[in-house]
Chain A
Amino acid sequence: MSAVPAPTTTAAPAPAVETPIRRFLRTFAEDRVAVLGFSLFALIVLLAVCAPLITPQNPYDLAKVDLMDSRLPPGERMGDGFTAWLGSDGVGRDLYSGILYGLRISLMVGALSGLIAASIGMSVGLLAAYAGGRVETFIMRIVDLQLSLPAILIALILVAALGKGVDKIIIALVVVQWAYYARTVRASALVERRKEYVEAAQSLGLSTRAIVFRHIMPNCLAPVIVILTVQTAHAISLEATLSFLGVGLPQTEPSLGVLIANGFQYMLSGRYWISFFPGLALLLTIVSINLMGDRIRDVLNPRLEK
């Protein structure tokens, strides 16, 4: 576990002290597929962050977009002189540029909603575990109730009531996700609070707040990190789905889902690339996160430790 110091203190001249993070990184890197996933994900994030520097066209700059360039197949030359390696979409935007800008929105929505949901879920889970009694019953009832319904159904109902927009989709995704964190954190906090170090902290006279946030919470982090990776991939996919259905992000904020939706109408006439390439980018993003997540779960699972 992350915050428990490794038993290096007993060996007097410890040759090389391995911090928990180092050990985590070393075990993580033992799996080649996971490293591949990580590299792919790092590359995707890098491309998204550097999008304005490495794309030939700003797809939001209407002055740069020419309707004459619309629906060009991959590899054609655009009016501005550069080559559209992935083709262009229905209104003449270079798809490569559009995908990198779209990735920014998709990644931001996924990461932000994941982090907010994790912090809310953790707080609620800790509260449930520590308060006990009616508060706990009440919170866990809501969690169970919510987890018994499919995420996409809740998300659809929420966007029906909230409307379109980045902020609204983030709210919807947070509501969909928080319960997973709350349930997990409560379960591990219940185990942790009976351990001796908590008793020690209590007899030292530390405040409940200090015990919960400084001592118990760090020890509940491992499963949270695992859920965070899986849920971020899930959130990105869910946002893309909602945007594809036309109830997620508006046209002014073209995430990958919006790009794919725009290409849908050209699909039947055989112009596959407008939907295909943004979808491929989405797929690679999700797969890379899932590959990392699989490995992180194995590494952080104490039952599998040698």
Chain B
Amino acid sequence: MLSFLIRRVGQALLVIVAMVLIVFFGVHVIGDPIWMLISPEMDQQAIAQTAAALGLDKPIQEQFLYFLKGLAVGDLGRSFIHGEPAIQLILSRMPATLELAVVALLMAIVIGLPLGLYAGLNPDSPVSRTIMAGSILGFSLPTFWVGLMLIMFFSVMLGWLPATGRGDPQTVLGFETSLLSLQGWAYIALPALNLALLKISLIIRLARAGTREVILMDYVKFARAKGLSRQRIVQVHVLKNIMIPIVTVLGLEFGSLMAFSVVTETIFSWPGMGKLLLESIQRLDRPVIVAYIMVVVILFVIINLVVDILYSILDPRVRLTEAKA
């Protein structure tokens, strides 16, 4: 278990180092961030002052050394644009992104699981065929375009739901959430559905495949022979057994939800980390990009770890030391 943990942490460090190096020197090659910060009225002296204040007048190697020094004491630098510490900026946007990802995940389960279960129990019915065709379409639809269509249909044409923004956040038990009011749910409905779409298709497929496999097992036959009701067989024997792969995949997909929220947040102006990352990429705000990478990679490692541990609890046949060498 310990060597497993150490290896995981080592891998994460490797990823972070590689990505930070790429970003740090890559952004430098694309352009000098200073050109994003100055206004046309500034004279040469003012420009030089701004550059000096941010340390951008020094050669890139020196900037990197300075960054490493800051890192040693847990300082990732200040955002060029916002002037705030980059890590603080990222963390202040994290609750919004987490909220979106969690609601999307729940939506995917609530919609995908029953549909997949139905398609698995009645593989030849026309309804099942429609469900499966829909799931193929769900895989093919580009997320961002679906987002636009959702806005067009529900906001512009029907006027039911707001197109952009987030409800007023409130703090409950240390967590910041906008879901306490009805208005908050109205704001999150479209972006969460947009983000959930791919995962709905995925869960439908997993649930269907799992159901078709499990339904042939001896214990299901036995339960049937015992005279249990169909409802009870499905709810207890089938559902419990198809949940193992679904929980694993969902855990891993939670990370991809967070990554894909960059797209959804941008379309729906959802004030999360993803939107911040995109703005930072466009404005060459290097400290924020670097901070984002660190936070997200660490989050990923934690998620993967939790999934692995959960998996070994759900399925005792799996031993952590052997998995994923």
> Which residues of A come within 8 Å of B, CB atoms?
141, 144-145, 148-150, 152-153, 156-163, 233, 237, 240-241, 244-247, 260, 263-264, 267-268, 270, 272, 275-276, 279, 282-283, 286-287, 290, 294
Contacts and interface: CB of A to CB of B under 8 A. Distances in A.
B30 A157 contact: no
B120 to A, nearest CB: 19
A226 to B, nearest CB: 15
A268 B22 contact: no
Interface in B130-156: 136-137, 139-145, 148-149, 151-152, 155-156
B142 A153 contact: no
Which A-B residue pairs are the 9 nearest by beta carbons? A161-B26, A279-B145, A150-B259, A150-B256, A153-B259, A163-B30, A160-B281, A287-B140, A286-B140
Contacts of A157: 19, 22-23, 289, 293
Contacts of A144: 324
Contacts of B289: 157, 160
Interface string B101-135: 00000000000000000000000000000000000
Given A152-B259, A152-B262, A245-B278, A272 B23 contact: no
B282 to A, nearest CB: 6
Interface of A is mostly: helix
A241 B143 contact: yes
Contacts of A148: 300, 304
B266 A245 contact: yes
Contacts of B148: 260, 263-264, 267, 275-276, 279
26 contacts: A152-B259, A160-B23, A160-B281, A161-B29, A162-B30, A163-B30, A240-B145, A241-B142, A241-B143, A245-B262, A245-B263, A245-B266, A246-B278, A246-B282, A264-B148, A264-B267, A268-B163, A272-B156, A275-B148, A276-B152, A283-B140, A283-B142, A283-B145, A287-B140, A290-B136, A290-B139
Contacts of B296: 153
Given A145-B14, A245-B262, A276 B293 contact: no
Contacts of B191: none
B26 A156 contact: no
Contacts of B27: 160-161
Contacts of B88: none
B217 to A, nearest CB: 21
A154 to B, nearest CB: 8
A152 B137 contact: no
Nearest to B262: A156
Interface of B is mostly: helix
Contacts of A161: 22-23, 25-27, 29-30
B178 to A, nearest CB: 22
B260 interface: yes
Nearest to A238: B142
Contact of B26 (A162, A260, A279): A162
Contacts of B163: 268
Nearest to A236: B142
Contacts of B29: 161, 163
Interface of B: 11, 14-15, 19, 22-23, 25-27, 29-31, 136-137, 139-145, 148-149, 151-152, 155-157, 163, 255-256, 259-260, 262-263, 266-267, 277-278, 281-282, 289, 293, 296-297, 300, 304, 324
Contacts of A153: 259, 296
A150 B139 contact: no
Contacts of A246: 278, 282
Contacts of B260: 150, 152
Contacts of A287: 136-137, 140
B142 A237 contact: yes
A279 B259 contact: no
A148 B256 CA distance: 10
A148 B26 CA distance: 23
Given A149-B300, A267-B152, A244 B144 contact: yes
Contact of A159 (B140, B281, B293): B281
Contacts of B14: 145
Contact of A276 (B25, B137, B149, B266): B149
Contacts of A159: 281
Nearest to B281: A160
B196 to A, nearest CB: 16
Nearest to A157: B19
Contacts of A149: 15, 255, 259, 297, 300
Contacts of A152: 256, 259-260, 262-263
A159 B293 CA distance: 14
A233 B156 contact: no
Nearest to A279: B145
Contacts of B26: 158, 160-162
Nearest to B142: A237
Contacts of A240: 142, 144-145
B278 A247 contact: yes
A145 B163 CA distance: 37
Nearest to B156: A270
Given A145-B11, A156-B281, A245-B262, A282 B145 contact: yes
